[in-house]
Amino acid sequence: MAELTSFIDAFLTRVWVGNDVSDLDREYQANAALTGLEDMPLDGIDDFLRFHRMVQAQFRLLSYRTLASVENGDWVSTFGEFIAADRQTGQRGTARVHMILQVSRGQIVGGHVLLDYLGFFEQVGRLPARTLDRCLLDSSGQWHTRRH
């Protein structure tokens, strides 16, 4: 495994699965900006910690693994999955995640994260099954099609 991918794997496992943010300022730049996790960017450590607390209050993250990654200079693009359980129901689900992160001098300085929230929330019972499919159907239950 390449250097940046190893760094990100260790960071995600420690911070999300291990729920350990004690050294966050060592690996996450104070003014780092992450987009894609919420409607607005997470700007800096305080926003990251707020988001982290919100997720940890609702879910117990059981594991993370990288399925594929590509590194280019100080950028790393990874595709991986978290396995987590809803803290209220115990229902488990797998959340697929795509991340493009910039790492400079051993710190995450920014990036973009895409998480399959719909699929994960369906698996843990927070949304009905096939929610995306239902959104893609019109009111008659047919797929939307364009006629030229």
pLDDT digits (tens, 9 = 90+) for 104-129: 999 999 999 999 999 999 999 999 98
The CA distance from 101 to 35, in Å, is 10
When pLDDT is cut at 50, 70 and 90, the band that residue 131 belongs to is confident
Per the DSSP assignment, residues forming a β-bridge with 112 are 35, 100
Output the pTM of the full model: 0.86
- Amino acid letter at 31? N
Among 66-70, 104-108, 141-145, the minimum mean pLDDT is found in 141-145
Unique residue bearing structure tokens 């003014």: 31
Contacts of the segment 84-90: beta carbons below 8 A, 24+ positions apart:
84/59, 84/60, 84/120, 84/124, 85/59, 85/60, 85/124, 86/58, 86/59, 86/124, 86/125, 86/126, 87/57, 87/58, 87/59, 87/60, 88/58, 89/124, 89/125
- Token pair recorded at residue 130: 């096939």
What per-residue confidence (pLDDT) applies to 138? Answer: 67
Q: Show the domains of the chain with their CATH numbers.
A: 3-136 (3.10.450.50)
What per-residue confidence (pLDDT) applies to 40? Answer: 87
Percent of the chain scoring above 70 in pLDDT: 92
What per-residue confidence (pLDDT) applies to 92? Answer: 97
pLDDT digits (tens, 9 = 90+) for 9-35: 999 999 999 999 999 999 999 999 999
What does the pLDDT average to over 52-69?
Answer: 96
